[in-house]
Structure formats: C-alpha cells, structure tokens
Amino acid sequence: MQKTMPWISTAARLALAAVWLVAGGLKVGDLAASARAVNAYDLMSYDTAKVVGAVQPFLEIALGLLLLIGLATRLTAGISAVLLVVFIAGIISAWARGLQIDCGCFSSGGELAAGKNAAYWLDILRDIGFLALAGILLWKPRTRFSVDGLLMGEER
C-alpha cells in the first residue's frame, strides 16, 4: 500500500484538478450566468451573489491549476473540501426549500423550466465523490509528478 498510495493520490489530484478546471472554465466565459446561478439559491442578496458568481470561476480555475501542478496540495485539497461542503449544503438547502434549480456546477445554472425537476440527490452524490478525492489528498498529499515533490527533493 505504501508504494501504491502516491499513485492513488496522484489520480485523485489530477481528477479533482480536472473537475475544478472544467467547472471554472465553463463559467468563466459568462460571469453574469454564474451570478444568476448563485442567486438562484436565494441564500444571499443579489449584489453579493453577483460578486460570488464573478469570483467563483476564477477560484475554481486557481484550485484546478494548483492541483494540476501539485503545488500546496494539502492546502488546496482543504480549500476544495470546504468549497465542496458549501456546495453540498447549498444544494441540500435548495432541495429542502423546494426550489427547482440547476445547481450551476457544470452549467449556467438558474431556475429550471416549468415541468423539469432537479435531481439534487445526483448532484449531492457527485459532490460527495469529489469530496472523497479531496479527502484522499488531505490524508495523503504526496503525489507523483508534483511541484511539492520537486521542492521536497522526492522526484529527480
């Protein structure tokens, strides 16, 4: 297990990097849609939702890039875990309040068209899977092909 764990952690790091890069990349081109998606949760004022919606894609891309190169892996995994818990709580809140919205995780989000129902349980399960990836990196942050490894003299 000691020899395979860095490879498992590497797979977790690269998978979570891909998640953040795709999620942020899909939102960064339309910050107004990102703001509408955040606002659809009805958890904050519209002005606050605009700021969060504008910042979120850049945060996701930054997390993805840090994970991709393997820099500050444990810290980045920790921030990822916190963000994922916030996302899961937001989805649970929307579900509990009977909102019919697209989570906006990998889309423009917002209210669903009449007659469409949100599949919140799928969004929650998916995000729990992503949270598990972050958990692996919090537990075992040493990965192959990483800047962290180079800085610690592990990879030559």
pLDDT score of 154: 72
Whether 119 is in a domain gets the answer yes
- The Cα 114–Cα 110 span in angstroms is 12
Whether 103 is in a domain gets the answer yes
Return the higher-pLDDT residue of 102 and 12.
Answer: 12
Tokens of 58: 């850049």
pLDDT score of 49: 96
Q: What angle do CA 7, 78, 67 make, to 5 degrees?
A: 45
Q: Is residue 101 classed as helix, strand or coil in its secondary structure? A: strand
pLDDT above 70 covers a percentage of the chain that reads 97
φ, ψ at 110 (rounded to 5°): 100, -175
pLDDT score of 130: 98
φ, ψ at 101 (rounded to 5°): -130, 155
- The Cα 95–Cα 88 span in angstroms is 11
What does pTM read for this prediction? 0.92
The pLDDT tens digits for 72-105 are 999 999 999 999 999 999 999 999 999 999 888 8
* Parent domain of 92: 5-151
How many domains does the chain contain in total? 1
Whether 156 is in a domain gets the answer no
Return the higher-pLDDT residue of 83 and 156.
Answer: 83
The pLDDT tens digits for 44-76 are 999 999 999 999 999 999 999 999 999 999 999
pLDDT score of 155: 59
Query: Which of 54, 124, 57, 126 shows the shortest CA–CA distance to 95?
Result: 124
* Per-position b or e across 130-142, b if 16+ CB within 10 A of its CB: bbebbbbbbebbb
Residue 109 CB contacts under 8 Å (≥ 6 apart), including other chains: 33, 34, 36, 37, 38, 40, 101, 102, 103
